């Protein structure tokens, strides 16, 4: 009995970019593969995957990668009795430069009469590691939070606020930690 299914193509990177670089977004020309063959073998197909080697990379990588099928245990499936509508896909893996820079902020506004700001602004974190194209990051020396984001107008005690720094990163620049939500 013949059977046809479609599977989303997963991308797996192998290795690590050069020190000071991280993996950025991955783009592929197709994201699904159609698989056809005996139902007993097709039913074993849990996912389709391509691998791209990023070991030591300092620039974006463009490559053609073969599609490999795997079962639920992560073992390769013998594809000799299967046919796919495509055997390889084009993969573009962005490689981003990283740089650690200070975060700065000068608050705006005036405290309540009789109070005075002490001029000390504590930021946590006070540094951020950003990622992007090297020519862009070479020109960044700090991430400045605008005064309008930290307004101490009419405050009469220690003022604390949370600012989403992602909104203040230059275009094409992101926090290098993918788990960083931007709020500090």
> How far apart, in whole angstroms, are the C-alpha atoms of residue 51 and residue 56?
15
Q: Supply the DSSP symbol for 111.
A: P
The model's pTM: 0.78
Q: What beta strand segments (E) does the chain contain? A: 2-14, 21-28, 32-38, 47-53, 61-66, 68-70, 83-84, 88-105, 127-132, 143-145, 174-175
Please write the tens of the pLDDT for every residue from 38-70. Answer: 999 999 999 999 999 999 999 999 999 999 999
Please write the tens of the pLDDT for every residue from 100-154. Answer: 999 999 888 888 888 888 878 888 889 999 999 999 999 999 999 998 888 888 8
Q: Which of 52, 41, 56 is nearest to 88 (CA)?
A: 52
């Amino acid at each position: 009995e013949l059977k046809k299914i479609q599977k989303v193509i997963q991308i797996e990177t192998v290795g690590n970019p050069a020190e000071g670089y991280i993996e950025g977004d991955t783009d592929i020309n197709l994201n699904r593969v159609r698989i056809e063959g005996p139902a007993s073998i097709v039913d074993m197909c849990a996912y389709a995957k391509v691998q791209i080697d990023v070991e030591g990379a300092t620039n974006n990588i463009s490559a053609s990668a073969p599609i490999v099928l795997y079962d639920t245990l992560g073992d390769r499936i013998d594809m000799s009795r299967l046919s796919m509508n495509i055997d390889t896909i084009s993969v573009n893996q962005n490689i981003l430069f990283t740089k650690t820079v200070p975060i700065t902020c000068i608050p705006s506004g005036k405290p309540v009469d009789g109070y005075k700001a002490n001029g000390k602004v504590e930021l946590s974190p006070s540094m951020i590691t950003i990622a992007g194209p090297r020519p862009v990051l070479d020109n960044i020396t700090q991430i400045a939070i605008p005064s309008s984001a930290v307004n101490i107008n009419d405050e009469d005690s220690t003022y604390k606020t949370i600012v989403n720094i992602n909104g203040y990163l230059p275009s094409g620049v992101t926090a290098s930690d993918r788990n960083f939500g931007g709020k500090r």
